[in-house]
């Protein structure tokens, strides 16, 4: 990934500090964030929330979780009990 596109949105610790306004930058941030989730692993909603909380500083894990799902980078069961990273193939 071209990190230059997201440098302005990441702090010195590698945490997302700002949610971008531009669509392409938002998608790049989501690609950066989803790297913290393993393939072939199921997560609970609580685990997903904790991973997202650990990797951003602006306090809106709901937004980031919803965006990961809407952009089909994470999937979840209808009841929200299981989440998983989508295979890029």
C-beta pairs of 8-13 under 8 Å, 24+ apart in sequence: 11/57
How long is the chain? 89
Task: For 53-81, write each residue's pLDDT tens digit.
Answer: 999 999 999 999 999 999 999 999 999 99
DSSP state of 87: P
Beta bridge partner(s), residue 77: none
Model confidence, pTM: 0.91
Domain extents for the chain?
3-85
Task: For 12-55, write each residue's pLDDT tens digit.
Answer: 999 999 999 999 999 999 999 999 999 999 999 999 999 999 99
| Neighbour tally for 7: CB within 10 Å | 8
């Amino acid at each position: 990934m071209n990190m230059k596109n997201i440098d302005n949105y990441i702090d010195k610790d590698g945490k997302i500090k700002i949610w971008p306004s531009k669509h392409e930058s938002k998608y790049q941030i989501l690609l950066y964030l989803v790297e913290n989730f393993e393939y072939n692993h199921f997560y609970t909603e609580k685990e997903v929330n904790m991973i997202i909380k650990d990797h951003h500083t602006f306090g809106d894990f709901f937004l980031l979780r919803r965006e990961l799902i809407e952009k089909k980078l994470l999937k979840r069961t209808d009841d929200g009990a299981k989440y998983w990273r989508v295979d890029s193939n």
